[in-house]
Amino acid sequence: MATSTIDLHAPYKERVKLALQNLHLKTALSRSTVRLSSARVAAMTAVDGQRLRDQTRQMKEYVLRNLPDLLEELERNITANGGHVHWARDASEAQAIVLEIARQANVQKVVKSKSMVTEEIHLNQALEEAGLKVVETDLGEYIIQLAGEPPSHIVAPVVHKRLEDISAVFQEKLDMPPTLDPEQMCAIARARLRQEFLTAEMGISGVNFAIAETGTVCIVTNEGNGRMVTSMPRVYVAVMGIEKLVPTVEDAFLQYQALCRSSTGQQCSVYLSLTSGPRREGDVDGPEEFHVVLLDNGRSDMLARGYGEALLCVRCGACLNVCPVYREIGGHAYGSTYSGPIGAVISPLLPAQVTNAEKLPHASSLCGACRDACPVKIDLPRLLLDLRSDQVEANQAPWLERQAMEIFVRTMSSRRSYENAGKLASLASNTMAALSGGNLKFMPPPLSAWTQSRDFPPFAKKSFRELWAERMARRRTIQRGG
């Protein structure tokens, strides 16, 4: 099969190298990210996109400022509706809560609707280790579950695969005859999944937003599987990060609009499933039990450490689609549930064990495209800069870099040392450049990382300041002469 699976636990360098070497990955990423980001631009320009972003941000800022109160309001209303609320400090508490609910309800099989937060806490593994069968029902998520991979994008988990790759997975795992017809492939998956919906005792989903004033959890999907997960099994468990709530119904639709337009460029998604409580008398469907797990897992620390802005995120994936780095390496290279610019910010702040998480804040050219695309205007470049600065302050920067930086600043701190360094660099670089046709083709490490793929120009023989001085001298001569 063409698309390689990147081991999330491999060193960062290795993950990136594998991603960059994978030409099929590049094709798949280019196609989908360009399509998604052009759709976003069109959908945001169709309305007053700036106003939508401003209003959404204001609303989410209000949520963060009033988080404890709103969470309690949410809890009160869910409970009043007949649902149960559970508070989980970390991943293991959340796993234990869901397992206990499953045990008490005698659950053998779980159907899931795509959820990043359950990926974050590795819920599937925990359930499977306890002997439960877990089936992902979002088509993309189903494909990667069959392939044994984690999602590589916040909203499009299988974005890294081409149709050819998916066909290969289906042929191997579902005995599908060879075909590249998406409709045929879809039909096969759908038939399989239908059986799972009918036989599962428990449905688990994430939460796109929960409405505090009504105690309603909302999930946004395009396939209808979400609705079946929330209403067909006896028990429905919704797992949400504590930041993913909105105060009122109006706010819910504000966020819904910002989310749909930013993630897939839709005006609204095909399905919006709202669950306020278990099935009441006379209801035609709905779960008998309704549970909401409120997960912290590092989020209140994030707020306390000055990275609260990252909690405004509505998980639309717009920053991934416009990120030139994500476009080259895809989600798996980040080694974390959350990839792209937002992943580079939150992965090092979450308690999850991400291999080389410290390198993620540096995996950005700080171009700022992500900030312009973000529906809540999260200043991602600034957060990345803050993380870098925190690392330096915590003495985590590489020794060599620190030394180099000190020498750099000392040199730049005086005109004389700056000019001397310039002269030296000019002499050395011109000598070397003369040997290799005018440009530098080799530099010593760590600068060799540049010259492996790029030329570097020699320093000027005469600096600007020297030319300037000559020019001023000429002028004085002319003035004196005149």
**Interface with another protein by CB under 8 A: which residues?**
16-17, 20, 27, 30-31, 34-35, 38, 324-325, 328-329, 362-369, 371-372, 382, 385, 387-393, 397, 401-402, 405-406, 408-409, 412-415, 418, 422, 425-426, 439, 441, 446-447, 449-450, 452-457, 459-460, 462-468
Least separation in angstroms between CB 239 and another protein = 33
Least separation in angstroms between CB 467 and another protein = 5
* 16 vs 219 by CB, closer to another protein: 16
* 272 vs 367 by CB, closer to another protein: 367
Least separation in angstroms between CB 44 and another protein = 16
* 32 vs 124 by CB, closer to another protein: 32
* 38 vs 195 by CB, closer to another protein: 38
Least separation in angstroms between CB 264 and another protein = 16
* 107 vs 369 by CB, closer to another protein: 369
Least separation in angstroms between CB 19 and another protein = 9
Report whether 116 contacts 205 (CB < 8 A).
Answer: no
Least separation in angstroms between CB 411 and another protein = 8
User: Three-state SS string across the chain, please?
Assistant: CCCCCCCCCCCHHHHHHHHHHCHHHHHHHHHHHHHHHHHHHHHHHCCCHHHHHHHHHHHHHHHHHCHHHHHHHHHHHHHHCCCEEEEECCHHHHHHHHHHHHHHCCCCEEEECCCHHHHHCCHHHHHHHCCCEEEECCHHHHHHHHHCCCCCCCCCCCCCCCHHHHHHHHHHHHCCCCCCCHHHHHHHHHHHHHHHHHHCCEEEECCCEEECCCCEEEEEECCCHHHHHHHCCCEEEEEEECCCEECCHHHHHHHHHHHHHHHCCCCCCCEEEEECCCCCCCCCCCCCEEEEEEECCCHHHHHHCCCHHHHHCCCCCHHHHHCHHHHHHCCHHHCCCCCHHHHHHHCCCCCCCCCCHHHHHHCCCCCCHHHHHCCCCCCHHHHHHHHHHHHHHCCCCCHHHHHHHHHHHHHHCCHHHHHHHHHHHHHHHHHHHHHCCCCECCCCCCCHHHHCCCCECCCCCCCHHHHHHHHHHHHHHHHHHC
Q: What are phi and psi of 450, to 5 degrees?
A: -75, -50
* 129 vs 442 by CB, closer to another protein: 442
* 128 vs 406 by CB, closer to another protein: 406
CA distance 383 to 389: 10
* 212 vs 354 by CB, closer to another protein: 354
Least separation in angstroms between CB 410 and another protein = 9
Least separation in angstroms between CB 35 and another protein = 6
* 186 vs 405 by CB, closer to another protein: 405
Least separation in angstroms between CB 287 and another protein = 41
Least separation in angstroms between CB 416 and another protein = 10
